[in-house]
Amino acid sequence: MVNVNTAGLDSFFWTVGLNGLSAIIAFWIFEYLRVQPGLTRKLYNPRRQVEEEEGVEHTQFSGSHANYQSWRSFVFNLTDAEMLPRCGVDAIIWLKFLKFCSRIFFMLSVFQAPFLMLIYATTTNELQEVTWESFISMSHIPERSNTLSICVIAAYIMTVYILFKLAELYKDVMDLRTQTIYDMSPGSNSFTVLVQDIPDQKGGLGIVKFDLWSYNVFHRGWWNTRWIRIREALQGIFDGISHTSNALVTQESLAMTGNATAETVEAFFHNLFPGVHLEAVMVPSLRDVEALVKERDRLVYRIEMLQSQRRWRIEGLETSSDAKFAAVSEDQGAVETSLQGSAYSNAPLDEATRRLVSLKPALMAEIRELNPKIAAARSLASNRPAHTAFVLFPSIRTAAVAPQLLNTIDSKTWRVSPAPSSIDIIWPNLSHRWWERFGRFMLMLIIFITMVLVFLVPVTFVSGLTTVETLNGMGPWVVEITSVPWIRSFLNGYLPGVAMTLALLGMPYVFRLLSGIQSPRTLSDQERASCSKFFVLLVVDVFFGNSVLQAFFKEMDLFLEDFSLSDLLSAMGASVPDSASFFISYIVARIGIALPAELLRTGKLASYWIFGPLRFTHREWREAWIPERPPYFIHLPNNLFCLLLGLVYAVVAPLVLPFIWLYFNLSVTLWHHQMVFVYVTSADTMGKNWPHIFLRIITSLLIAQLTLTGILILKESAGSIFMAILMGLTVSYYFLMASRYTESFKFMPMDLAAVLDDRYQGNEFGESAWEKYKASCQLPVTAPSCFLMRIISPAMRDNPVMRLSCCEERQKQQRTNNEAMKSVSPTKIDDRRTEFRRDGSSEAMYQSFGSYNSLVESESSDINF
């Protein structure tokens, strides 16, 4: 009979109890704050607040859904067709993935976990004393036991079931993507391709090679826009050197401009597609233009800040100035208060008003002085040759064919890819050549490997916390503390999972910055690269690192005296099942800390109050709660890692399975709420994240099979041969699915492109549509009528949350509000202001970008924002 030691059972209850209690308390707090007016309403339901401000018609999403039962039943009853216009394809695929994990681990927890734990508990091994968690795992099973064959059968059943459900999910994702593309109105990126690494042309690109080099190097070192005049003076020196370097070039090549490069691109594609009308839009480097625009932004911000500092006293209460006046008359030096009616027209000037009146003319003069410089720099940049261009085609068929061709013998030149959404593009990275991207990738790789190795230090520390014996070696004072039973249980159970969760808190943001080094084209590419790096760190450092280090700490004296590889492998084989208690603590800590933190939006709430004194304008206050992109780079790697832990310990230590199921079940509820009420998908990739998720699911399954194979080898079981066969079948399954569907995520299928072409425009391309699509290929600083936001595609303008980001829509709404306010009596204005105060939030939060738009409209028309 096995002698079971139940000493660690109290640590297990500490872990589950404390984290479960914290999750319940956080949920109660959320339910209370969610229905409160003012700030909490903006943080926990910002999309509804934005829709009300923009006057969006009442929809099924506009209801209050005050309690948990109300909003939970509402979001779970939504179909994919109802959620698609609001959330996008990426969000729906994310929810489908969470549901897939929840169903998988529910079935494993109900059917496989009790059966395996019963088998492990009844397996006799009289030669050892085991802990309670090892008693129901594979660690105490003797070598060459018949029980090991049951483990192999369970692994086969689990793998077949997961692969079958994964094939259904893959098919569901493909149908969703295809149907969405089929039903949507095509945007500019449907007719456009991105061409990178355009080779140097004779006299075209080579003539300004030193010019571009000087601009790039110079503006990397002088990024601060306050030194703009010094930068202009030193730029003359660089221009002189550039002209001197070009003195040996012939006059014919000197006469060529950037238009010749656009003509070269068009001529190249005319050779590939004869008789097709197309047009190339070059993407030059605009660091010099951006510097001037940032300087103008700084001046506009000063005017807006001065307006916000103007205070009016009404009924003994201070209110913000943007709701009290529309403009400042710089000629007469008086404040015109026409926005809110005659009730405020005779108010006396205070110190803030006098300061605004005195400083505003000088600031406006500087802005007018910068406008010609911006126009000249924009014109110079537009005529400058570049190595990147957008090419517009008259049909979706042609745009779908172009990226799938090998255009030249040298595959590093004329690289054509489908054009991403303009709102998702990282514009400065488009000008990077292939060798610069390769160099950046190698630099990023070196930094990443170094970070993975360095992060083993906190993992080692956390692994040491799992063994009180290791802590006792720090000194006699530690022995006195750990001798207290409840402290010992707390250290063994609750602390390791919380410490690991907190240690990983800032890593997603570090990897997002690191991914920016490798020159991604879009924000979505940067997020995918960040997810890959974070997942690798979790697998290498947290999973494998914890298992190896835990084995090392337990047998430290043995390894220091006589180290051998066989002893290390034997210790690892026993440590992987025994480390299940640590990962249970980690999973439960994510249930009690990570999920409540996302539900309560603690980071957003803390930044709102901590950085509140640094916000001086209404625009800054509004940006503090405006809906953001879903943080996939934070939660996707963590969920994939939890999936990995569930698959690894599904056979090795089945006790982990119920906690994994609980984690994913709560995640499904949480992210349904966040996607519907909190986050907004600014740029939908139409499911391009799914192949990356699928690859990591298969990788997690292979790691689980490899771990079980290693344990079987150490226990001298013949089942390791069958596990090797299972790994081969899993790899074959991946290549089968990837070969069938992966290319459909990279390129639009031709049959679908033909259907869209025949439905919407055939082979004719209207002049208005052509100009509209051409404008969407311009950089933000060259956009003709939008200064605050990038040009968004027509498909995204259909989204009411995205439509409110367009300056023209905002200015039109502001003019309508101004006309309406002139006819409102002062009594109604006071009533509205009182209602705002009763709501618990400042009136400034309801003005959005009003002050900025009023500034743009009230000044002379020669200021082109």
Please give the pLDDT value at position 684: 84
Rounded distance between C-alpha atoms, residue 10 and residue 492, angstroms = 9
Please give the pLDDT value at position 209: 40
Please give the pLDDT value at position 643: 96
User: In the numeric block, which tokens belong to residue 650?
Assistant: 């599904």
User: In the numeric block, which tokens belong to residue 830?
Assistant: 């006071």
The residues with which 192 forms a beta bridge, in sequence order, are 392
Between the CA of residue 27 and those of 72, 601, 666, 720, what are the distances in Å? 13, 12, 11, 46
Angle at 543 between CA 537 and CA 544, to 5 degrees: 95
Q: How many helices (H) and strands (E) does the chain have?
A: 41, 10
Please give the pLDDT value at position 326: 32
Please give the pLDDT value at position 459: 78
Angle at 796 between CA 795 and CA 797, to 5 degrees: 90
Phi, psi of 390 (to 5 degrees): -100, 135
Q: Is 185 helix (H, G, I), strand (E, B) or coil?
A: coil
Please give the pLDDT value at position 530: 94
> Of 765, 793, 751, 752, whose CA–CA distance to 395 is shortest?
765
Query: What is the 3-state secondary structure of 99-155?
Result: HHHHHHHHHHHHHHHHHHHHHHHHCCCCCCEEEHHHHCCHHHCCCCCCHHHHHHHHH
Query: What is the 3-state secondary structure of 520-545?
Result: CCEHHHHHHHHHHHHHHHHHHHHHHH
Half-sphere exposure of 370 (CA within 13 A, CB side): 24
Strands 389-392 and 192-196: antiparallel
Please give the pLDDT value at position 236: 52
Please give the pLDDT value at position 851: 34
> Of 749, 584, 616, whose CA–CA distance to 131 is shortest?
584
Please give the pLDDT value at position 318: 39
List, in order, residues 6 or more apart from 264 with CB less than 8 Å away. Answer: 198, 201, 204
Please give the pLDDT value at position 769: 67
Half-sphere exposure of 276 (CA within 13 A, CB side): 25
Please give the pLDDT value at position 733: 95
Please give the pLDDT value at position 698: 96
Please give the pLDDT value at position 440: 92
Q: Name the pTM for this structure.
A: 0.78
> Of 324, 327, 320, 317, whose CA–CA distance to 345 is shortest?
324
> Do the Cβ atoms of 83 and 91 come closer than 8 Å?
yes
Residue with structure tokens 């998988």?
104
Rounded distance between C-alpha atoms, residue 402 and residue 391, angstroms = 10
Residue ranges of the chain with pLDDT lower than 50?
Answer: 1, 203-229, 238, 242-260, 311-349, 762-764, 783-865
Q: What 8-state DSSP symbol labels residue 614?
A: G
